[in-house]
Amino acid sequence: MTTSFHPPVRTLMGPGPSDVSPRVLSAMSRPTIGHLDPEFIRMMDEVKGMLKRLFKTENELTMPVSAPGSAGMEACFVNLVEPGDKVIVCQNGVFGGRMKENVQRFGGECILIEDEWGKPVDIEKVKAAFAENTDVKALAFVHAETSTGVRSDAKALCELARNNGALAIVDAVTSLGGIEVDVDGWGVDAIYSGTQKCLSCPPGISPVSFSEKAVEAVKNRKTPVPSWFLDKNLVMGYWGGSGKRAYHHTAPVNSLYALHEALVILEEEGLENAWKRHEKYHRALKAGLEAMGISFLVDEESRLPQLNSVVIPEGVDDAAVRTALLQNYSLEIGAGLGALAGKVWRIGLMGTACSQRNVMLCLDALENTLAGMNAPINIGVAAQAAAAVLAE
């Protein structure tokens, strides 16, 4: 007979999901109530308010989509892209490629800007694309590319879109809560994220926000939104303003308790303090890894503190190291994707996982594992280098 499942306790330092706070896990276990219960609706309003502060926006259409970050992405594209619409898509990793697929699946004309994986989006290439193409409906790009750990200049890219009369669609799945995201200040029109990265919440919810300009574009579509579930015209009857809510779908009640608690924790810390924490422990991890002789894929000026892509030392078996870390230390780090498979590890420092304990655990476990495999690294120096940064 099948028995209850009890997962092992892991330290999650991969590209996501990240470690979840015990407070968030506890919140999920609270009694389930109806998704139209007045108390649940009160909590929904609090979630909306906290998400608006997190995104730094006054957008009324700011809400959590009842599905993972990929559904948040699809919600942005399925509502804003119609057959024949021109969309400039910037691809410098896996997730820019998913944006391209969304544009194509909804009948849009994709104008693809490609950059080397590990490099930020080239602003000059985007300028040239706007100069060569008229009537561009939207510019789409990934702010924090999870497959490489690179940050692109969201403010400059949104300004380009605005100056050319285009909407700006932004992937903030890995950036939200870990580095600055300023929806209103940058002029973002549609943005999506996920709960399982820097919010340290279980996967399954995707915060999104649409500007008034984007809402008008949805309302003035020539064709119906092809997805019933993700149609913002419909779902706003449930997630809309105050008062009675119209039934749209059965919300994931307990998962939204978890998101509420994760957002409360973030507000207790302070958003800018969270950004500083991610930067501090990134610098400590960086010092330890570089002392060991391990280099980074991404140039320092465009490197994400919360997602560190490091080059695997020559002659080292990628999978063997990750397996040993999991088996011997119950520690998860991520493999490279696509062209970077077998060439880099992706080490996450996201949300609750971004801590001194995890930095030191990762350095110690990685050093011991690599030393046992006779890898070409410096031994006995990583912890001291990291500690020196932490003592500053």
Q: What is the pLDDT of residue 244?
A: 64
Section 265-292 average pLDDT: 98
Confidence tier at 92 by pLDDT (50, 70, 90):
very high
In tens, the pLDDT along 12-26 reads: 999 999 999 999 999
Distance CA 40, CA 370 (A): 50
Q: What is the pLDDT of residue 236?
A: 78
Residue 281's contacts (CB-CB under 8 Å, 6 or more residues apart) are: 305, 349, 354, 355, 356, 358, 359
In tens, the pLDDT along 195-248 reads: 999 999 999 999 999 999 999 999 999 999 999 999 998 887 777 765 567 788
Q: What is the pLDDT of residue 245?
A: 75
The H-or-E segment that residue 331 falls in is strand 331-332
Residue 270's contacts (CB-CB under 8 Å, 6 or more residues apart) are: none
Q: Give the chain's mean pLDDT.
A: 96
In tens, the pLDDT along 347-387 reads: 999 999 999 999 999 999 999 999 999 999 999 999 999 99
How does DSSP assign 109-169, residue by residue?
A: EEEEEE--TTS---HHHHHHHHHH-SSEEEEEEESEETTTTEE--HHHHHHHHHHTT-EEE
Residue 68's contacts (CB-CB under 8 Å, 6 or more residues apart) are: 194, 196, 203, 204, 205, 206
Residue 317 reports pLDDT greater than 80: yes
In tens, the pLDDT along 27-80 reads: 999 999 999 899 999 999 999 999 999 999 999 999 999 999 999 999 999 999
Q: What is the pLDDT of residue 242?
A: 57
Section 301-321 average pLDDT: 97
